[in-house]
Amino acid sequence: MGNQEPKDAETSEKIQASGILQLFASLLTPQSSCKAKVANIIAEVAKNEFMRIPCVDAGLISPLVQLLNSKDQEVLLQTGRALGNICYDSHEGRSAVDQAGGAQIVIDHLRSLCSLTDPANEKLLTVFCGMLMNYSNENDSLQAQLINMGVIPTLVKLLGIHCQNAALTEMCLVAFGNLAELESSKEQFASTNIAEELVKLFKKQIEHDKREMIFEVLAPLAENDAIKLQLVEAGLVECLLEIVQQKVDSDKEDDITELKTGSDLMVLLLLGDESMQKLFEGGKGSVFQRVLSWIPSNNHQLQLAGALAIANFARNDGNCIHMVDNGIVEKLMDLLDRHVEDGNVTVQHAALSALRNLAIPVINKAKMLSAGVTEAVLKFLKSEMPPVQFKLLGTLRMLIDAQAEAAEQLGKNVKLVERLVEWCEAKDHAGVMGESNRLLSALIRHSKSKDVIKTIVQSGGIKHLVTMATSEHVIMQNEALVALALIAALELGTAEKDLESAKLVQILHRLLADERSAPEIKYNSMVLICALMGSESLHKEVQDLAFLDVVSKLRSHENKSVAQQASLTEQRLTVES
């Protein structure tokens, strides 16, 4: 189009100078015998982007919209074309049509003409759909207006009746694609039978481009949980599995795209609780079995989708327990093994996500530990990719929860602990930083082991646990305080210097004095103060900071445990002062 512009601009100037546009306005009256021809000329003129605003300025929109009330099919067709072209990519054109009330009239036509399938009528319906598209494309408020006028059920009905007509079908799909981007449209779509219609249409399509068009509508719609379930019930999954089977060994560009789109959509359908459970069928489901077979495949896209699907199936304890008992862990570990060296981050991340979710039920932890999951996961300690680091940490933290032996074994692993301390400083990656801190604390809390504490002190981890006590997340503050209390009880001498230089006592004073600290934070801070009294230098810091004032105030705290702990701590401080 590039070299068109000067010519278009020049033409536009000539037409505007001639004053013919103003003349057209007078020829668009219902009485005029040449109104269809004039509308046709305007439609052609408005293909020139420099002519759209002049058409609006010449007052053509209002008479054109009036002509939408005509009964003459040719007049309607040419008027629809003219308005559609004037609206194309033109803010001024859209505003003028909006003010003249054009959209409602067109939607009413779509409704009343919906069930007529003769070619002339289908052509008119196609033009009207196109006009609404040009009118609302990428304009949220006009799309919302069309949705409020009830355009969605009308278009779904059109699609159902005219699925044999390629041009009209395509128009409907483009319209759905546009409207589905608005959140408010999803509820409306969910109350129609769009899922059924799209799946029916999809089954009939052989051409790649047509299938891609349907995919582009399915993906945004499938973000809605109700529609996910409708798509599953309409048989979309079987279509997707078939695509995967057909395309898995192909290296044609189109087939690779379709395999990716299809398997991604499959994973998306599994994000809804009901649709996921329906497809799991107690682990006996053919869909679940087929997805399972993707994991050992040689196709990276399928391995990825398979691992993500397992992570989605692993969203409740029952499913997790069933999958672990049926050998899923070994499959995921084999998959990870195949990607230790090649650094395929997405597959690593997906497989680790699945393992992390599977490790949540208590009964699975020991089984996964004895299957060697920790060793498999530790192979990725050297990864420099934050998403992989994040999932690796989460998986280990889930696995050692209340597993003392495993926590002790990991906590004495110097390589791991040193890496954790390094990641505790990953300022750019808050997620990795938070998970590293939580794992350090978990290693101490679940092992209650002197050796683990010594390893963490030697690797420089203490200061991070102290910082973690000031986190904005209560759960993390708490985990830090409990770990620090265990350190003070088991290895105070070893940790004393680090606790001092991290200013732990000052931080505890702040936490106790702060009105906003949660009750469990106040409670655990006082437990920790008592535990620190065993160190001469820390004891002195406690005395210097007038803790008694803060603690005695807490004796009247509304939380019974806090009040009780305040009395005990006060006695302890009084005796020792």
CATH code for the domain of 282: 1.25.10.10
In this prediction, residues 162-191 reach a mean pLDDT of 90
Q: Which domain holds residue 413?
A: 409-502
pLDDT(210) > 90: no
pLDDT(206) > 90: no
Tokens of 146: 């069309």
pLDDT(18) > 80: no
Is 15 domain-assigned? no
| Cβ partners under 8 Å of residue 246, min gap 6 | 255
How many CB atoms neighbour CB 558 within 10 A? 7
Q: Rounded to an integer, what distance in angstroms lies between the CA atom of residue 414 and that of residue 419?
A: 8
Q: Rounded to an integer, what distance in angstroms lies between the CA atom of residue 339 and that of residue 17?
A: 69
Contact 400, 446 (CB under 8 A): yes
Strands annotated E in 116-223:
none
Is 126 domain-assigned? no
Same domain, 489 and 442: yes
Same domain, 301 and 374: yes
In this prediction, residues 205-222 reach a mean pLDDT of 89
Same domain, 548 and 455: no
pLDDT in tens, 86-128: 999 999 999 999 999 999 999 999 999 999 989 999 999 999 9
Same domain, 287 and 363: yes
How many CB atoms neighbour CB 10 within 10 A? 11
| Residue 2 pLDDT level (bands cut at 50, 70, 90) | very low
Q: Rounded to an integer, what distance in angstroms lies between the CA atom of residue 475 and that of residue 453?
A: 21
Is 560 domain-assigned? yes
Q: Among residues 402, 421, 450, which one ends one of the domains?
A: 402
Is 546 domain-assigned? yes
Sign of the Cα torsion 422, 428, 432, 435 reads positive
Angle between helices 328-338 and 345-358 (to 10 degrees): 160
In this prediction, residues 53-77 reach a mean pLDDT of 93
| Residue 28 pLDDT level (bands cut at 50, 70, 90) | confident
Same domain, 287 and 358: yes
Q: What 8-state DSSP symbol labels residue 163? A: T
pLDDT(264) > 60: yes
- Of 291, 394, 296, the C-alpha closest to 336 is 296
Q: Among residues 402, 420, 450, which one ends one of the domains?
A: 402
pLDDT(27) > 50: yes
Same domain, 395 and 413: no
pLDDT(21) > 80: no
Tokens of 97: 């049509």
Same domain, 293 and 383: yes
Is 67 domain-assigned? no
Tokens of 35: 């109104």
Is 255 domain-assigned? no
Q: Among residues 468, 502, 536, which one ends one of the domains?
A: 502
- Which has more confidence, 260 or 575? 260
Same domain, 280 and 379: yes
**pTM for this predicted structure:** 0.81
Q: At residue 495, what are phi and psi to the nearest 5 degrees?
A: -95, -10
In this prediction, residues 218-241 reach a mean pLDDT of 92
Residue matched to tokens 């020049």 = 10
Tokens of 543: 């005395």
Is 135 domain-assigned? no
Is 174 domain-assigned? no
Same domain, 396 and 426: no
Same domain, 358 and 306: yes
Same domain, 419 and 372: no
Tokens of 466: 């102290």
Distance of CA 31 to the CA centre of its chain: 56
Q: What is the count of structural domains for the chain?
A: 3
- Which has more confidence, 396 or 547? 396
Same domain, 562 and 477: no
pLDDT(76) > 80: yes
- Of 155, 193, 187, 188, the C-alpha closest to 172 is 155
Q: Rounded to an integer, what distance in angstroms lies between the CA atom of residue 194 and that of residue 230?
A: 9
